[in-house]
């Protein structure tokens, strides 16, 4: 494949926009469905947390099954199934009148989002020249990063000024847009070609063991960002700086947008250690600054450092995961990586919620800086010590334009 070929093909933009729309849908409800269940359905705060988490459960179900499904259906077919499911599911939010029904809707939405996002993050790798895969993944992952900032920001704004029904209408619009864009994706360009399809199921049809070391790394380091997602609004309110909580995520995204054009190229030319090690250290220092913050500028500076650190750490780990396996195991590798990542961001807040009352928010963010350092040491132990540019080339000789 030509190394000088543009990364930004038509299908790249289609997959990036599909991923942006469905992940914006996901993150927008992560911060508002809890208050909705309390205010409109009179759920307890503990039940509201459970309702939030059911989407994560749905996503994990899709992650586990997507590796096997790619051997049965084509990538485009799986995306269409996910988006066709997502449209009626998001429409049901307008009619939810009980907690059990809301839980079912949240679970189905998670299944759809998990299926679509796993396929988009897997299929897009097939579009890149082998020598520029790190750069390509870095650019593509911006769609998720933007969603993590835009989703909460837009949904909180809509909830405050227009109400929950308008927010649910936005969910429908995003899912319809994703479905329409799926129709225009070239199925041939994002197709796998399996030389030997297996009839018997095995564990590596669902999980790719070779990805577990790097996936466990993102699980550890991701706990820091999970703490931010769960507690930054409470923390800023405690500091009488609540106006900065929504801006935090915009500054976080800005840092990634500024740095991403450079970090992807560094991975491809110097290897992943050249990004992961400094990114982890910057992330750790940003968390320390957040823990000792007493003014708005300190919070926003911490947001910029954490975006520069964790944002690039995450995308580089995803690149390592993709480069760890042959193409026929790419879907399982992507799913395995995101299973651990989703567990960190989805389950982490509940575990950290036990710690926060004991140590306070400052103490919690201080502990998370230590967790990030532990994650870096773990990375060096399981992967970084043997990493070199010569060791991160792809095994994609079997790439083909044929569909399943």
Tokens of 266: 């560094």
- What's the token pair of residue 282? 């910057």
CA max distance for the chain: 61
Distance (Å, whole) CA 286 – CA 403: 45
Cα 226 to Cα 291: distance, rounded to the nearest angstrom: 15
Task: State which residues form the domain around 238.
Answer: 207-391
Residues 132 and 211 in one domain: no
137 shares a domain with 109: yes
Answer yes or no: do 129 and 237 share one domain.
no
Residue 200 lies in a domain: no
- The closest alpha carbon to 376, from 280, 257, 283, 265, belongs to 280
For residues 7 and 14, give the distance between their C-alpha atoms in angstroms, rounded to a whole number: 13
Residues of the chain falling short of pLDDT 50 = 1-4, 389-404
Please give the Cα distance from 392 to 318 (Å, whole number): 12
Domain end, chosen from 190, 218, 251, is at 190
On whether the CB atoms of residues 174 and 24 are closer than 8 A, the answer is yes
Look at residue 31 and tell me if it is in a domain: yes
What's the confidence (pLDDT) of residue 124?
A: 87
CATH number at residue 231: 1.20.1250.20
Q: Based on the fold, state whether residues 357 and 293 are members of the same structural domain.
A: yes
Distance of CA 97 to CAs 32, 86, 110, 283, 290, Å? 16, 19, 19, 42, 40
DSSP secondary structure string for all residues of 340-376: HHHHHHHHHHHHHHHHHHHHHHHHHHHHHHHHHHHHH
Under 8 Å between Cβ of 43 and 99: yes
Structure token digits, residue 187: 């199925």
- Of the candidates 144, 125, 146, 147, the one whose C-alpha atom is nearest the C-alpha of residue 320 is 125
Residue 401 lies in a domain: no
Quick check: is 400 in a domain? no
DSSP label at residue 332: H
Q: Could you give the number of structural domains in the chain?
A: 2
Q: Does 397 reside within a domain?
A: no
- Domain boundary residue among 190, 220, 239? 190
**361-378 as b/e: b if 16+ CB within 10 A:** bbebbbbbbebbbebbeb
Give the separation between CA 208 and CA 395, rounded to whole angstroms.
Answer: 15
Based on the fold, state whether residues 120 and 148 are members of the same structural domain.
yes
Based on the fold, state whether residues 28 and 128 are members of the same structural domain: yes
| β-bridge mates for residue 74, sequence order | none
Tokens in use for 45? 């705060």
Q: CA-to-CA distance for 367 and 64, rounded, in angstroms?
A: 31
Per the domain annotation, does 195 fall within a domain?
no
Q: Are residues 212 and 185 in the same domain?
A: no
Return the number of other C-beta atoms located less than 10 Å from residue 353's C-beta. Answer: 14
For residue 86, tell me if it sits in a domain.
yes
What is the residue-wise DSSP string for 16-65?
A: HHHHHHHHHHHHHHHTTHHHHHHHHH---HHHHHHHHHHHHHHHHHHHHH
pLDDT, residue 326, reads 78
Residues 165, 217, single domain; the answer is no
- In the 8-state DSSP scheme, what is residue 239? T
SS3 content of the chain, % helix, strand, coil (to 5): 80, 0, 20
Q: Does residue 210 contact residue 325 with C-beta atoms inside 8 Å? A: yes
Residue ranges of alpha helices (H) inside 124-211 are: 133-140, 142-161, 164-182
| Same domain assignment for residues 358 and 221 | yes
Q: What is the DSSP string of 220-276?
A: HHHHHHHHHHHHHHHHHHHTT-TTHHHHHHHHHHHHHHHHHHHHHHHHHHH-THHHH
Domain-located, residue 201: no
């Amino acid at each position: 494949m030509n190394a000088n070929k543009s990364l930004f093909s038509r299908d790249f933009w289609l997959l990036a926009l599909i991923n942006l729309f469905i992940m914006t849908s996901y993150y927008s409800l992560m911060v508002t469905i809890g208050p909705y269940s309390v205010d409109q359905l009179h759920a307890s705060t503990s039940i509201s947390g459970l309702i939030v988490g059911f989407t994560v459960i749905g996503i994990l179900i899709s992650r586990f099954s997507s590796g096997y499904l790619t051997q049965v259906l084509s990538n485009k077919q799986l995306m269409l199934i996910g988006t066709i499911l997502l449209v009626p599911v998001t429409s049901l939010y307008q009619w939810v009148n009980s907690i059990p029904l809301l839980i079912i809707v949240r679970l189905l939405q998670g299944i759809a989002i998990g299926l679509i996002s796993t396929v988009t993050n897997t299929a897009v790798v097939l579009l890149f020249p082998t020598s520029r895969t790190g750069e390509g993944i870095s650019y593509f992952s911006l769609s998720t990063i933007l969603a993590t900032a835009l989703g909460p920001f837009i949904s909180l704004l809509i909830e405050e000024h227009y109400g929950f029904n308008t927010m649910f209408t936005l969910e429908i619009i995003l899912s319809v847009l994703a479905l329409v864009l799926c129709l225009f994706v070239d199925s041939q360009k994002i197709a796998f070609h399996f030389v030997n399809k297996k009839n018997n199921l095995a564990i590596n049809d669902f999980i790719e063991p070779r990805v577990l070391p790097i996936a466990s790394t993102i699980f550890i380091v991701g706990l820091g960002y999970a703490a931010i997602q769960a507690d930054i609004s409470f923390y800023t309110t405690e500091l009488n700086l609540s106006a900065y909580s929504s801006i935090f995520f915009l500054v976080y995204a800005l840092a990634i947008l500024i740095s991403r054009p450079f970090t992807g190229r560094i991975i491809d030319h110097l290897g992943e250690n050249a990004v992961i090690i400094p990114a982890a250290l910057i992330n750790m220092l940003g968390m320390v600054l957040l823990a000792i913050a007493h003014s708005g500028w300190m919070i926003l500076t911490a947001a910029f450092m954490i975006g520069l650190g964790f944002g690039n750490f995450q995308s580089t780990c995803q690149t390592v995961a993709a480069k760890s396996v042959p193409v026929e195991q790419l879907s399982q590798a992507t799913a395995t990586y995101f299973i651990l990542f989703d567990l960190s961001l989805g389950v982490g807040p509940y575990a950290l919620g036990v710690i926060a009352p004991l140590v306070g928010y400052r103490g919690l963010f201080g502990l998370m800086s230590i967790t990030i350092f532990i994650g870096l040491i773990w990375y060096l132990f399981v992967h970084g010590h043997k990493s070199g540019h010569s060791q991160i080339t792809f095994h994609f000789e079997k790439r083909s334009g044929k569909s399943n």
